């Protein structure tokens, strides 16, 4: 199964980038929370919308 993904480039996303994307994990961006933690909506610098847990 892993062989299928060889050669695919994945971006490196730092904690700082996630913090900026979620406006420092602002409650206004909180999508929900559960037993595994909180999930925030974020927008990366390139405009990509992400969910950050």
Going along the chain from its start, the domains and CATH numbers come out as 2-52 (3.30.200.20)
> Which ranges constitute the DSSP H helices of 7-52?
15-21
Where residue 7 falls among pLDDT bands split at 50, 70, 90? Answer: confident
Q: Is 24 helix (H, G, I), strand (E, B) or coil?
A: coil
End-to-end CA distance of the chain: 25
What pLDDT digit, counting tens, does each position of 14-53 carry?
999 999 999 999 999 999 999 999 999 999 999 999 999 9
22 Rama sector, left if φ>0, alpha if ψ -120 to 50, beta otherwise: alpha
Where residue 2 falls among pLDDT bands split at 50, 70, 90? Answer: low
Measure the CA–CA gap between 21 and 11, rounded to whole angstroms.
Answer: 15
Measure the CA–CA gap between 6 and 14, rounded to whole angstroms.
Answer: 22
| Residue bearing the bigger pLDDT, 6 or 13 | 13
């Amino acid at each position: 199964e892993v062989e299928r993904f060889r050669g695919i480039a994945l971006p490196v996303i730092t904690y700082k980038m996630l913090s900026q994307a979620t406006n420092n994990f602002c409650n206004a961006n909180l999508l929900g929370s559960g037993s595994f933690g909180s999930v925030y909506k974020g927008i990366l610098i390139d405009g990509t919308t992400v969910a950050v847990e």
